Amino acid sequence: RAAKVLRSAAAAPTFEADDLLASWHTRASSSRLLGVAGPRSRLSTLATAVQLDGFTKVKEMIDKMAEELKKQQAEEVQFKDYCDKELKETEATTYDKQMLKKDLEGQMDQLETLVKQLSKEIEEAKTQISETEVAIKQAGQTREEENAEFQSVVADQRATQGILAKALAKLEDFYKKNIGKEVFLQAQQTPPVQFTNYTANAGSSSVISLIEQIMGDSKALEAEETAAETKAQADYEIFVGDSNSLIQDLQESIAHKTKASAAAAADHNQAGLDLTNTESELDSLAEYEADLHAECDFVLKNFDIRQAARLQELEAIQQAKAILSGAK
């Protein structure tokens, strides 16, 4: 009866995956009986042993087979848990690394754009400094020319005013103080021809007024030129002060942006190294995942079938042992 039970179990459709199971057993089993063949072959071998060997020896073989089958069953569950865990963790790690790679690529693009923008702004600031320095130099030259012209105009007007003042003084002495009449009287003598009596020139006042007007115009021109010179000098000093402040601000901006550019370049290089390492890690993860699939796909795909077949095999040999023990 025990041999019949074992042969009947060996013929069960559950063992259609005999070759797959045998492959797994050969891989994991240390038992000669379990390692050489699949469940059908083992059950058939055990059925033959029931007919040929003593019951005691057969029951020992059955106990050993049952122990090994239970061990395999537990190991396979552990291996499935391991595969599920490793595949899940590898998938999650791969996703994280892919997101990190994307972030690093975006960061590198932003840093590259920032470095280019900073370099452009630095060059623009340098150009503006050069232009401002040229403008200051040109303004200085213009100021010197304007001041020289001012000095010339003032000198001319003051010289004119001096000459006119002397002329005016002479005329005022002559006409207003009657110096001319006194001189005439002191030299008076009976001329061969009688002239009219001496009187001051009636047009003297208009000449004096004209000279005074010319002097007034000259002083007004001097005052106007002086005011214009003062304003021009003040405007020049303001321009130079503002220009120097602008240059200082631009130089500080250049220093700040140069430092920022260097930091951005360093960050770009570091991001590049991190990206290289991340890509290397992704390659390693891909290789590891491929190895996991090569190792685990067979078990994961056939896990339920293998577990059920092993249980059926275990039930069959236990029934056989019960028969041999007189339980049935």
**Contact of 274 with 104, CB cutoff 8 Å:** yes
- Cα–Cα distance between 46 and 2 in angstroms, integer? 10
Residues in the chain: 328
Q: What is the DSSP letter of 16?
A: G
**Contact of 9 with 314, CB cutoff 8 Å:** no
One-letter amino acid for residue 161 of the chain: Q
- Cα–Cα distance between 193 and 200 in angstroms, integer? 21
Tokens, residue 52: 């040929």
Question: What is the full per-residue pLDDT of the chain (328 aa) written as tens digits?
Answer: 445 544 554 455 444 444 444 544 444 444 433 443 555 555 556 555 544 445 677 778 878 888 888 998 899 999 999 999 999 999 999 999 999 999 999 999 999 999 999 999 999 999 999 999 999 999 999 999 999 999 999 999 999 989 988 888 888 787 766 554 554 444 444 455 444 444 445 455 688 888 889 989 989 999 999 999 999 999 999 999 999 999 999 999 999 999 999 999 999 999 999 999 999 999 999 999 999 999 999 989 998 888 888 888 788 878 877 776 664 4
Q: What is the DSSP letter of 193?
A: S
Distance, C-alpha 305 to centroid of its chain: 56
- Cα–Cα distance between 65 and 57 in angstroms, integer? 12
Instruction: Give the other-Cβ count within 10 Å of 155's Cβ.
Output: 11
Q: Which residue has the tokens 């040999």?
A: 317
Torsion of CA 109, 113, 115, 118, to 10 degrees: -160
Distance, C-alpha 256 to centroid of its chain: 15
Task: Write down the pTM of the prediction.
Answer: 0.60
Instruction: Give the other-Cβ count within 10 Å of 241's Cβ.
Output: 10
* Crossing angle for the helix pair 204-324 and 18-28, to the nearest 10 degrees: 100
Distance, C-alpha 184 to centroid of its chain: 103
